[in-house]
Every structure is written in structure tokens, then in C-alpha cells.
A and B are shown apart, each in its own frame.
Chain A
Amino acid sequence: MRNSEFHYTRRDFLVTAAVAAGAAAMPFAPARAAAKYTRHNVTSAEGQRMLASYAKGVEAMLKLPADHPQNWFRNAFTHFLDCPHGNWWFYVWHRGYLGYFERTIRALSGDADFAIPYWDWTELPQIPDGMFDGVLTPTDKAFAPYTGNLALFTSFIKPAMTSYWDSFSPAQLAQQNLRGYKKLEDVWNDVTGYSVSLKNGLSGNEAFATTCGSRYLSRDNPKLDAKTATNVSEFVVLSGLLPIDFYNPSSQLSFNSSKTTNHNVPPAGSSSFSTLEGMPHNKVHNYIGGYGPLDPGPYGNMTNNLSPVDPIFFLHHSNMDRLWDVWTRKQKKRNLPYLPVGDDLKTYSDEPFLFYVGGDGKYVGPSKAGDYLSTDVFDYDYTPGTGEKIVEPPAAAVAAKRGLPLTKGTLKANVASVAVPNAAIENHLAATSSQPLVAVVTIPRPSGLSNAREFDVLVNAPPGVTQVSADSPYYAGTVAFFGSMMPGMKMSEDATFTVPLRKDLQAFTALRATGNTTALNIRLVPSQEKSGPAPTLKALSVGTP
């Protein structure tokens, strides 16, 4: 599996230099030596051997006292207190979490070569058989002294968690406050499912799971159901690897979930999940824990932020991390950015991660997301699995040009002005183009008193032009509101429309006389004369979607 091409692509990740230079991609970095550790598919012989070491490590962690940072449950609480989901630190935080955990297992199992095997659920849509053996399932009797019931768990771990909480630095407390935890009791309410507002416990909200109910799937019933299998299908996984942007506000175009101000809070409004986090990641977690069959709860460990109590967690996330590595190598092969670009790279890299525990049993102390952008920090790679084919794209895809990012126009007197590179226009006008230029127009929803529902989009029309026919050289298209305005219904105030720009617009014909860019002046007029005033342009951008 250590073929030269694989290692050539994974080792050219010069993070420090990239951050320092603000560079987005370094596609021609030199080949480097093979990684020290390899994460194998759990179904392989090497993967099976790793499971034996994994079990030794888990057993040792279970036996550690509750006040030891490497105790099995304490390790799970690191995730509970600090894990990001639904934002763009999801992959990088979990890379750090798994990397340190791997070192812990290496140290406690005595296997100096240990690397977390990955569970390629696309290839094997059922829990690997070995994960039902001994301590590799949280239903094993070895867990019972701690998770036999909530009282046992509380008496075992809560005093140690209280001491740990009391030792937090101001920076750690500030992060917990952002998360909504102002005191340990707030944390514990989420462990027990107690609702302060309802003054009652909700079984479905309980993060704690008893030994016998800690995992829904069993050796006799190991398979993911048909719906979960759909979410982990090769089609979904490959689609999730398609985005060419590390982050894009449009979820289908983004490899990562929402961009947020820090890793502990969701974005204002609604999180935007990437395909891979939102579909296979989430559904595998929840189905293993019994969403559906065990409704309305209590559920197994995998359904919540204490999910690392179930050892399958680390095989699941090893596969997610592998997919990030696949995506990164795909980006490099195509000379595309594989990290945030521009100022975003520093913002992203500087995010503090404060709760990791090292392989030596000591707290790592303050570290940053930028420390974990590369697999180099833990010196590992992966054997190939599902999705690998996307790294080597068809020749036609390699040759495809990247389109024009949406360029925001300047608004003045209800006219939007955008300077569009002539190269982008030439690409747009090419007979073989599959990336049409579009105008993305935002206007207010018409009031109930206005009859105007349709507006024509004019490009570089002289000021006196207020009506056009369909064959006008200024006419780009019409945006239309559908049906009545339904004032009693909650609707957004503005609407955004995407209008492909006709190739025969007069604005494009003078291309070569205008230097490197062509100025497009765009405005909207009512389609039907005297139906109402022109809408107020709220925003307008031009680019290739």
C-alpha cells in the first residue's frame, strides 16, 4: 500500500510555510519520505492486528482512575466539552483529537506501531465484526462498573470532572461559556438529559447510556439499515468530495461546514453542513446509537457528544479524516487550494484548541487549529479506500478551467457596476463552455400594494431605456415572483435570483476594445410598462456558479 505515488501526494504539505506566506496551495512541493504510521482498513489483516492492540489500550484506559486525563471516560469528555460540529473546524479538531488518542493507545497497548484503523462504511455497511469483541463494544461487562447505571457513572466520574473544571484556565472557561456551560452543573445537565426549563429529564437528551443500552447494533444485528446505507453510498461520498472550495457559503459547493467565529458556537441562524459531515458522518453516529429503533430514547453513546465512549467512534472518525486526506490530495492534483484562502487562512489557523490530552497523559496545553492542518503532525497516512478514485480525475476534468468567483457589484443610483475579466467572458462565449456567466440579483419582495411581479434585467442599456423586447441587445432575462405575496405568511423580505447572461449581449461584443476587463452596468426595470416602479437593487454579483 505504500506506493510511491501515494506518498508523494500526502507529504508535500508544508503547513508552516503556507501559513507564513498566506499561500493557498503548494502543488509542486517535493516528494518526502513515507509516513511512520499507516492507518489501515479495519477489514485488512493489518487492520485486524491493530484491533488487538486497540483492545489492549482501551482496557488500560478503562482501568485508569477517574482523575487520570487518559481514563477512558475522561477522554470522551474532551470531546463532550470541546468538539465542533456543523462548522469548518470539524475536520481539523477531530484530526488533533484522534492523533493524540492514537498516541495514548500506542503508549498503553505497548504497540509502538499502532495506528487507528478506519472503517470504510461504504465498502462495509455494517459494524466490523471485531468491534463486538470484549472492550471494543461499550456493552461489554468491563464497562459495567462505570456505566451500569447513572448513579454509578456519576459517583465515579463527576468528582473528577468537578476538579478538572475547577482547574480550567480563564481561556478554557471562556470557551466553555461560549458553548453554554457556565458551570459544571450545566455540563452535567446535558449528561443526564435534565432540562432546566422543564424541570424534568428527557430521555432522548441523555448523553449518558447504560452498559446494556450503549450501542444499538449488535453482533446479531450489525448492519446499517437501508437509509443509512444510502447516506454512506459511494455516490454520496464522491459527491461530498467534489467541492473545490475549502469553504463556500453555498453548502453544495463547500468541502467544510459553516464558517463561524469560533469552534464552540454554531453560526447565527442555521448551520450549513457539508455533504460528508451532514450525511454519512451524522447518520452513522445516530444509527449505531439507535435513532429510529430506540425512539424516543434513551439512545446509545454514538448519538451524542459522549460518543467516544463507544470505541467504534475512532474507526468512524478515522474514515472521516481519511476522506479529508483524499480531498486534500485531489485538490493538490488539480492545483487547487486545499486550505482556506486569503485572510481566512490565518483566522482559521489561529483558532485555539485547549483541551487535548497527549499520549504521555499530560494536557497538551494551548494549541491551534493550524497545528493540525497536515497529517504530518502525527506522521501517518492511509491505505486507499472509497473515494480514492477522485484523486486521479479524468483528463478532461484536469483541463477544465476554474470559473470566475462571484464578484460583487458597486451600487449607485440603483445601477450595479461590475468589472468582469475579459478572460472570463471569453470562456463564457466559447462554444464549449459549461460555465456560463450569471448575474446574481437580490431585490426586495414586492409589497402587496404593487402590481409589479416581473422585472427585466438590463445590461449596459442607455439611461433612457425603460422597456425592452426579448431581442433587445441589452436584455439579459426576467426575474419573476410567483403567485400572490401572501402577507400573512412568514417569508423572507428579499429574494435572490440567478440570471445567466446571454452570449449575444451587446456588452460582450466590444470585448477587445476595453482592456483586461469589461464593465457591466446592470439594472432592473418592470417588465410590464406602468406596472410599478423599478425595484431597489439590494445586491448584485457576476460570476460562474
Chain B
Amino acid sequence: MRGAVVAFTLSAHLALSGNAVSAQSTAHDMTLQLPHPLASDETAFVIVQIGAIGRGQEIEVTTASGQPLGVVSPFGVRAGQQAGTYPLPVPRDAIRNGQLSLRLTISQFGAPPRAPTAEEVPSVKLSVGPR
């Protein structure tokens, strides 16, 4: 009982302190734990917070194996403003043992995508959405 709860709270920490998450993701990859196992009618969401990024820049979110989850493409955000927080639904088959391995990249002009900085993506969370 207690072991299971501790495992949950560690994942809760990962989910709720995004600064720590992004700081550890310089290799683009991170693994997040669901707060609880998905019920049959629940959907998981990756919640991606985007900082002030350049116009035209986008954050691509895939699983570590390359399955696309979505692209965050800010619209209507004035230059220099925080781009906002975006929930991306996660297909059930992308989750293994309650965990989701993610890869985030940011597009840049005239160069291949790179890992976003902590300022560009301050936090990433894994949450359970409505049923």
C-alpha cells in the first residue's frame, strides 16, 4: 500500500513541478507518470506550457518512439507574450505501464529542430481528462 502511494506521489511531483521536468529534458526526452491508472472511459492529456517563443516557432510533441501527439502552434499571441498552456490528448496505446515517454522539439529558422529551453517550455504535465 505505502509503496504504491509513494510511487504515485513521486509522479505527482513530476507532474506538478514542471521546471524540474524541463530542466532534465535537454536530450528532448522525458517520461511522465499518470496520476492514476486510466479508467476505461478516461483520456490522458499532456499539458504543455509554452513561454515567449518567436513568431513562426512551434513545439512538436511526439512519443519517444516518434508517434505524433500534436504540434503547439501559437496564434493570436502578441510578440514577447507567454504563448500559453495547451492540452494535447494522448492515445491510450501511447501509454505503457502508466507511463508516457515524450519527446519535445522546437522549430527554428534555418536549422533542424532542437530541444526547447526551460524558458520556452517551462512545464510539461501528464493529467487525466474528463470521461
Q: Which residue of chain B lies nearest to A244 when distances are taken between CB atoms in the complex?
A: B130
CB-based contact A202/B127 at 8 Å: no
Q: From residue 389 to 422 of chain A, which have CB atoms closer than 8 A to chain B?
A: 396-397, 400
Q: B73 near A274 (CB under 8 angstroms)?
A: no
Asked whether A85 lies within 8 Å of B76 as measured between CB atoms, the reply is yes
Roughly how many angstroms separate A303 CA and B73 CA in the complex, as a whole number? 10
Q: Is the CB of A297 within 8 A of B13?
A: no
Chain A residues with CB below 8 A from B114, complex form:
none
Residues facing B in A235-289 (CB within 8 A) are 235-236, 239-240, 242-245, 250-253, 257-258, 266, 269-275, 278-279, 281-283, 285-287
Number of residues of chain A lying within 8 A (CB) of chain B: 82
Is B131 within 8 A of A279, CB to CB? no
User: Does A481 reach chain B (CB closer than 8 Å)?
Assistant: yes
- Given A271-B82, A470-B2: A434 and B127 interface contact (C-beta under 8 Å): no
Given A205-B79, A230-B71, verify A272-B84 contact (CB < 8 Å): yes
Assess whether A200 is interfacial by the CB under 8 Å rule: no
List, in ascending order, chain B residues with CB within 8 A of A231's CB.
Answer: 70-71, 73
Encoded as 1 (CB less than 8 Å from any A CB) or 0, chain B from 46 to 84 comes to 010110001110101000000011111111111101111
**Which residues of chain B have C-beta atoms less than 8 A from A251's C-beta?**
45, 47, 85-87
Chain A residues within an 8 Å CB radius of B89: 235-236, 239-240, 252, 275
Inter-chain contacts of A292 with B (CB < 8 A): 56, 58, 107
CA separation between A195 and B36, bound complex, in Å? 47
Chain B residue with minimal CB distance to A250? B127
Distance in angstroms between the alpha carbons of A190 and B81 in the assembled complex? 14
Residue B19 interfacial (CB < 8 Å): yes
When distances are taken between beta carbons in the complex, the residues of chain B under 8 Å from A236 are: 70, 88-89
Bound CA–CA A274/B84 (angstroms): 10
Q: Does A480 sit at the interface, judged by CB under 8 A? A: yes
* Size bracket, chain B contacts: 35 or more
How far apart are the CA atoms of A337 and B40 in the complex, in Å? 24
Closest B residue to A86 by CB, please name it: B84
Q: Is the CB of B45 within 8 A of A498?
A: no
Q: Which of A21-29, A59-67, A484-492 lies on the face that meets chain B?
A: A484-492
B16 located at the interface, meaning its Cβ lies under 8 Å from any Cβ of chain A in the complex: yes
- Given the known interface contacts A231-B71, A252-B47, A273-B85, the answer about A205 and B55 at a Cβ–Cβ threshold of 8 Å is yes
A206 to chain B, nearest CB (A): 9
A285-B35 in contact (CB<8A): no
Q: Could you tell me which residues of chain B, from 88 to 116, have a CB within 8 Å of some CB in chain A?
A: 88-89, 91, 107, 109-110
In the complex, are the beta carbons of A271 and B43 less than 8 A apart?
Answer: no
Task: Knowing A236-B70, A297-B56, A495-B16 are in contact, say whether A269-B82 is a contact too (CB < 8 A).
Answer: yes
Inter-subunit contact A297/B19 (CB<8 Å): no
Segment from A108-116, A152-160, A351-359, A471-479 that makes contact with B: A471-479
Most A CB contacts (10 A, CB to CB) among B35, B70, B84 go to B84
Asked whether any CB of chain A lies closer than 8 Å to the CB of B124, the reply is no
Q: Which residues of B contact A (CB under 8 A)?
A: 1-2, 5-6, 8-10, 12-14, 16-17, 19-20, 23, 35-36, 39-43, 45, 47, 49-50, 54-56, 58, 60, 68-79, 81-89, 91, 107, 109-110, 127-131
